[in-house]
Chain A
Amino acid sequence: MRSEIRFLLNGEEQSVKAINPDTTLLNWLRLIKMLTGTKEGCGEGDCGACTVVVADLNQSGQLIYKAVNACILFLPMLDGLSITTVEALRRSDGALHPVQAAIVEGHGAQCGFCTPGFVMSLYAGYENSMADNRHNIQQILSGNLCRCTGYGALIDAGLSAARHCPSASEHEADLSRRKIEYEYLQRAQDDKAMLSIETSEQAFYAPRELSELASLTRKYPDATFLAGATDIGLWVTKQHRQINRFIYLGRVNALKTISRTDDRVTVGAAVTHAEAMAALATDFEGLAEVWQRFGSAQVRYSGTVAGNIANGSPIGDMSPCFLALGAELTLNHAGKRRQLALDAFFISYGKQDRKQGEFIEAIRLPRLGSKEAVHAYKISKRFDQDISAVLMAVWIRRDGQLISDIRIGFGGMAATPARAYRLEQVLKGHDVEQPLPDAAVSALAEDFQPISDMRASSAYRLLVAENLLRKMLIEVSQDNGVKRLYPSSLPPAPDVPKAITMTMIEAGE
C-alpha cells in the first residue's frame, strides 16, 4: 500500500501526500502549483479550457497521449501517469512547439482564453500523429469551445503543425521526452502497490488486482465506484457533493481488456469510450457515428463504457445501443459473479438491479451474424459533444427484404434507456422496401410517452423517433447507404491514435 500520489508533471516527478482525494487536477495545478496556464471555463468537462495531456500505456503496453479535462479529474486518478500542461511545451531554447507556432502564425487566438486548451488538444493529436486531416482535427477539437475565432484558423493551425518537419534537435528532444515518459509509465505499471489515501474526511483506493477490488468491496460496501469521473467529477464540482470513499477502477488491469470469442465481444469495466470505439469499429460499424459524437475527445479518453451504463441515465448513449445488441452484464459482488441481461438492469429512473458493493465487471456483446446489422441515430442540438434528445439503436436480422428479428433501444424516450417492445412486434416480418406501417407509429406512442425538457419537447421526441424509423428503413432497403448529415464529408470511422512503441523511440522514429 502506498499513500502518496506519484506522477510526472511536465517531466518532474511529483509526490503528493495528505490531500483530499476529490481535489481536481485543475485546482491542484492552479492553486497549489500556481500553473495558471490551464484555465477553467466551465468546470464540467464541456469547454476544454482546462485540457491537459496525459501520457499512458495502452493495453498493448504502447505509449499514447490523451487530451483530458483537468476540471473533472481527481488528482489520485493521475497516479502512475505523466501529465503535460501548456507551460511545458516550449522547447528548451524557448522556441514554440509547432502547434503553438502554428496558432500564432495562423492568427488562431483572439481573446486567448480557450487557447491553452486548444494547444493541448492539438498537442495530443500531434503526438498521436492524428492531426493530418480535417476530419481528425474536428474529432481532436470536439471538446474545445472557442467563442471568438470561428475555428477556421485553429483547424488550419492543426493541419499546418502536422505538416511541420521537426528539426534534428526538436526530434531529439521529442524522443528523449517520450523515452522518459515511457520508462516512467512502465515503472509505475510494475509498481503493484495499491494507492490508498485516507484523510480525516475521505478515502480513496486504487486497487490493481480484481482480488484487491473484491476485498475492498467486502470491506466498504457503501464506497462509490469511480471510473472515468465524467459523471462523478460533476457531482463534486457542480453539486458540491461530499463523497466519503472512492474505489477507483481505472488501475485494475483485468478490467481494461477487450476480448473476443466467435460469438461475442467482452468489454471490461475500465475500458474507455476511446478504446472501445477504436477496438469495436469493425465489429459494429453502425455504432461509429454515435461513438464519434459521444461527448468529446476528452470525455471519450476518460469516460468508460461501463460507467455510461452503470449510471442508468435515461439519456446515456451506449445503453440503447447495447439494448439493441442484446448485451449482458457481468456483475461482481465481492468476488461472486452473475450474468444479467442489460434490459433487466434498468428498473426505473435512478434505480438499477445492482446491490450495494456490486460492480459491473464487464459487458458482453453478441457479435453480428451475416444477416444482422446495427444502426444507431443520435439527435441533439449540436452534432459534437451534446447529450442526446433522442437516441435510437436498431439491431436487425433480415431474411431477404423481410425483417425476421429486430430489437430497438431508445434513449431520451422514457425514464430509463428502454426497448420498444410493441414496436418491435409490429416490425417483425415487415418488408424493408415498404413504408413504415401506421401500426408502428401507434405502437411507438404506446411504448413511450416522453417528457418535455430543455433538450426537446415530447412531441418532437415522438415525431423524430418515428422519422428515424423511416430513415432506418430507407437506409437498409436496397442498400441505400447511410443518410446522415453529420459525417457527410467524413470517412465512416475516425482514425485512431497511433500508439508509440519503445522500438520506435529507440529507432528514432
Chain B
Amino acid sequence: MPGSSLHQPVAHDSATLYVTGEARYVDDIAFPADGLHIALGLSERAHAHIMEMDLSDCLASRDVVTVLTAADIPGDNDASPVFGDDPIFAENTVEYHGQAIFAVVARSAKAARMAVAKARIIYQDLPAILTIDDALAQNHYLETPYVLTTGSVETALATAQHTLSGAIRIGGQEHFYLEGQAAYAMPGEAGDMTISVSSQHPTEVQHKVAQALGVPFHAVTVDVRRMGGGFGGKESQSNLPSIISALAARKTGSPVKLVYDRDEDMRVTGKRHDMLISYAVGYVDNGRISAIDVDQALRCGMSYDLSQAIAERAVLHAHNCYAIDHMRITSRLCKTHTPSNTAFRGFGGPQGMMAMERIIEDVAAALHLDPVVVRQRNYFTDWTTAKKAQLTAYHMPVRDCIINTLTDQLLASSDYVRRRQAIESFNQSSPIFKKGIGFAPVMFGISFNKTILNQAGALIHIYTDGSVHLNHGGTEMGQGLYTKTRQICAHAFGISDDMVKITATSTGKVPNTSATAASSGTDLNGMATQHAAETLKGRMAEYLSTLYQTSADAVRFVEGQVHIGDERISFAEAASQCWQGRISLSATGFYATPDIHWDRDAGRGSPFYYFAYGASVSEVTVDILTGESRVNQVDILHDVGHSINPAIDLGQIEGGFIQGMGWLTMEELVYGDDGRLLTHAPSTYKIPATSDRPDEMYIDLYESDGNRSDTIHKSKAVGEPPFMLAMSVYGAVSHALQSLGQYPDTYPMLNTPLTAEHILMTAHQMKASG
C-alpha cells in the first residue's frame, strides 16, 4: 500500500481518459437518435427595436421541429446571475449584436443552423453606445460611480514633491475555452428536468432553469462532470444554453442539446472587461509614492452580469502590493451595447493591477530609476519584519506579506540586474532588435469578495468494500480540483487515491453551492471534504474502539489500514464491520471561510482570508521595424503555500502566465462600427500557440512553512494569481522601447494588447517626437 499522495505531484485524475479520448464532455454523452438540437437566432443590430419578426420560414425549413421565442417561456425571461437584466430571448429591444432573439429546434444541429438563417426580422435602429469613450461622454453607467478612499488624496497630491498623470487602455479578452458552451436537457416525469452542462456554477443553472420553467428548484437537477476549460467564462454564461435547452425539452418532450458553435459562442458570450484607467500620482525623489488617484472605467456591456463584483475587485487590487497612504479609486461601470462582460480569471484584478504597474513604471522613468527599485520602495513590509500590520486601501491589515523576500530571491535567481545592464548595452549596438526586461509582483486577495459565497459542502459515502465515493459542490474545469480533493480525502482515510472515486458535481448531491471561482475551489471544497471525512472517521473510531475495547483516540487510519489499539484491520474490513454495527457510512461536510467581512458602501473590511503572492521576470525582443515581439525568457517565483499537488500548481502557473501573456500581447477583440464583433473565431482572434511559449521558462514554488491562514493542509489558491505574472511582459516591452530614447527616462506609455501594430505605431511616434 503506497503512502499518502498529499503534497505529491500525482497525475490529474482524468489524465488517462484525456489521452485516450475516453473522457466525456457534454457533447460526447450518448444522445438518443430522436434527440433534438438547437441553434440560436442572434441580433444583427447593436441597439434596436424589433418591429417585426417572422419565423415561418424557419419553421418550414427541413427537419425543424419547433421554434422558441420569449413567448415560450413559462416562467421568468431572465438568464442573469444577479440583477434580473439579461433576457433569455430579447423581446422588444435588442441591446447587443449577437443577443439571442429566438431559437430553432431541429433534428440536427446543421438543420437548425440552416433554418436560423431564414428568419425575417425588421429592426428599427436606436442610438448605440459601443465604447468606453462613448459611455463616458454620455455618463452612460449601470450605476453611480463607486469611490473608495483612504487618507486625503487631494491634499497629498497638492503637496507632493512630484506628480504625474497618465492613462492606460487595457484590452478585453475572450475566454476561448477549447470546449464551447454546451448543455443537454433531459425531461423527466412530472415536469422534472435534468441538465448536463459545461458550467462552473451548477446551482445557478438549477435556479435559472427552474425560474424559467416556473418550477421549484427541486424539480431541476444539474450535473457537471467536467468542463473543457472555464476560466470564468462558464460562471454565468452557461445559464443561457441550459435554460434554452430546458425550454425546448419542456416544449417538445424530447432530450435536447445546445452546443454553441465557436462563432456563436464568441458573439453571444461576455468577455473580460476592457478598461480605460487614468491616474494621478504623487511621489518623492526616492520613488516613494504618497498618493494615487485612479479612475477605472470598464466596459460592462448591456447588463450587469457580474460586473459589479468584478469592478469591485479591480478597485480592491488597484494598489497591488503597495502601501500607499492616500488613495482614491473611482470605478465607472459603463453600460454599452455590446455583449455583457463577465468573469475571467482574475476577475477585474488584472486590469486594476496592470494600471498600478504602469504607474510604477511611469514614476520610475520620471526619476531615472529601475522600476524594480520603485516597487521595492513601496511594497508592504513582509510580515516577518513588520512591527504592525499595514493597511490596504480598504483597511484590511496585511498579515502575510512576503513580497520583499520573494522579490529578492527572484531577482537573484533570474540574475535580473546583470541582465538588465547587458540588455541595455546590447540595444545600443542592435538597430533592429531591441531587448527589454520587465518585472512584476502579484498580491492577490483570496476569497469571494462577496462574503456569503464563501461556503461549500461535500458528501462522502464509504462502501462496505472500503471504496469511497466523494462528491462536492466544486466543479472540475481542468484546474485539478477533483484530483486535489481526492488526495485530501484519501489522505484523511489513509487509503490510496484509487480507492476514492470523485463523481460528477450534482445539485442533487450537494445543494446550494457557490460557483467554482475566485480561485477558491480547493480552499472551500477541500475543507468541506476534510470535514466530511473527519465526521466519518469519528463515527468509525467510536464504534470500532467500543468493539475492540479501546479508546477512540487509539484508532488511526494509516496506509490502507485501521489501527485500533494493537489491532490492525484493513480499511475495507473496518467499513464492513461498521456497517454490520449499523453505523452510518455516509456524511456531509461543510465549510465557511472564517474571519472575513466586507462593507461595500463604506469601502472597508477584510474581504480576503489571505493573499497569494508571486513575481515574474520576462525578457522580450522587439523588432523595431515591424513591431513584432517575442517573449524569450520568463522566470517565476510563486507562492502556493504548502502545495497539495505541485505538478498541478506548476501547470496552473505556467498556463496562467501564458494566458495572461496572450491577453497583454496578441489577443485583440475588434468590434465594427455597427457593434458587431469582428474577431469571432480563432481565425481572427489569436491566442498564444505552441511556438509563442517562451523557449526558456523557469518556474519555482516559493518555499515557506505554508499559508499563515488556516487553509486546507496550509496550501494557497493558485487558479487566478499566476495570470497576473504576465504583467512583466508589459514592462519588458516598455523597457525595449525605452532604448529608442534615452534610458531610462523615455517612457512609451503603451496600451494593451501589445500587438505588432501598437508597438510599431508607438515606436514610430517616439522616433518622430524624440
Contact = CB atoms under 8 A, between A and B. Distances in A.
Nearest to B652: A110
B397 interface: no
B173 to A, nearest CB: 11
Contacts of A35: 21
A484 B433 CA distance: 9
Contacts of B110: 240
B602 interface: no
Interface in B145-167: none
A38 B21 contact: yes
B652 to A, nearest CB: 8
Contacts of B177: 111, 113, 147
Among B113, B261, B626, B648, the one with the most A-chain Cβ atoms within 10 Å of its Cβ is B626
Nearest to B630: A485
A142 B691 contact: yes
A104 interface: yes
A107 B27 contact: no
A104 B684 contact: no
A41 B179 contact: yes
A274 B176 CA distance: 28
Interface stretch (B40-48, B207-215, B408-416, B476-484): B476-484
B475 to A, nearest CB: 11
A87 B21 contact: yes
A179 interface: no
B628 A379 contact: yes
B16 A96 contact: yes
B20 A86 contact: yes
Interface in B600-621: 621
A90 B670 contact: no
B218 interface: no
Contacts of A44: 262, 681-683
Interface stretch (A301-309, A467-475, A498-506): A467-475
A112 B17 contact: yes
B629 interface: yes
Nearest to B176: A147
Contacts of A103: 15, 18-19
B630 A488 contact: yes
A382 B226 contact: no
Interface string B176-209: 1111100000000000000000000000000000
A175 B722 CA distance: 45
A89 B16 CA distance: 12
Interface string A451-463: 0011111011001
Nearest to A152: B654
Interface in A406-455: 453-455
Contacts of A148: 178, 229, 478, 651, 655
A46 B682 contact: yes
Given A41-B179, A152-B693, A485 B262 contact: no
A145 B687 contact: yes
Interface stretch (A186-194, A207-215, A364-372, A383-391): A383-391
A374 interface: no
B365 interface: no
Interface stretch (A114-122, A165-173, A245-253, A319-327): A114-122
A23 B177 CA distance: 26
A240 to B, nearest CB: 6
B684 A455 contact: yes
B679 A454 contact: yes
A107 B650 CA distance: 10
Interface residues of A, number: 86
B373 interface: no
A489 B431 CA distance: 19
Interface residues of B, number: 87
A36 interface: yes
B286 interface: no
B263 interface: yes
A485 B760 contact: no
A470 to B, nearest CB: 6
A469 B229 CA distance: 43
B697 interface: yes
A89 to B, nearest CB: 7
Contacts of B623: 483-485
A149 B178 contact: no
A398 interface: no
Nearest to B178: A113
Contacts of B690: 137-138, 141-142, 144, 151, 154-155, 384
Contacts of B113: 240
B678 A107 contact: no
Contacts of A105: 11
A382 B688 contact: yes
Q: Main secondary structure on chain B at its contact with chain A? A: loop
A386 B755 CA distance: 13
A111 to B, nearest CB: 3
A153 interface: yes
A464 B760 contact: yes
A454 B684 contact: yes
B231 A147 contact: yes
A386 B662 CA distance: 14
Contacts of B176: 145, 147
A60 to B, nearest CB: 30
B628 A485 contact: yes
B478 A107 contact: no
Interface string B691-705: 111010100000000
Contact of B666 (A146, A382, A457, A470): A382
A138 B228 CA distance: 23
Interface string B393-414: 0000000000000000000000
A18 interface: no
A36 B655 CA distance: 26
A85 interface: yes
B11 A468 contact: no
Contact of A104 (B15, B262, B659, B687): B15
A99 B21 CA distance: 13
A112 B689 contact: no
Contacts of B629: 485
Q: Which of B23, B668, B687 has the most CB of A within 10 A?
A: B23
Interface in A97-136: 99-101, 103-105, 107, 109-116, 119, 134
B689 A37 contact: no
Nearest to B645: A107
Given A39-B228, A107-B648, A112-B478, A134 B262 contact: no
Nearest to B668: A381
A149 B626 contact: no
Contacts of B178: 39, 41, 47, 49, 111, 113-114, 145-148
Contacts of B480: 110
Most chain A C-beta atoms within 10 Å of own C-beta, residue among B24, B477, B679, B691: B691
B14 interface: yes
B74 interface: no
A491 interface: no
B597 interface: no
Interface string B318-344: 000000000000000000000000000
A303 to B, nearest CB: 14
A42 interface: yes
A86 B28 CA distance: 14
A104 B655 CA distance: 17
9 contacts: A44-B683, A86-B19, A87-B21, A147-B655, A147-B687, A148-B651, A151-B688, A155-B693, A454-B679
Q: Which 5 A-B pairs have the closest CB atoms?
A: A37-B21, A111-B478, A113-B228, A112-B18, A110-B478
Given A112-B478, A387-B684, A460-B760, 16 more contacts: A41-B179, A46-B681, A47-B178, A49-B178, A96-B19, A107-B11, A107-B15, A110-B12, A115-B18, A116-B18, A151-B690, A381-B755, A384-B691, A387-B683, A464-B627, A464-B756
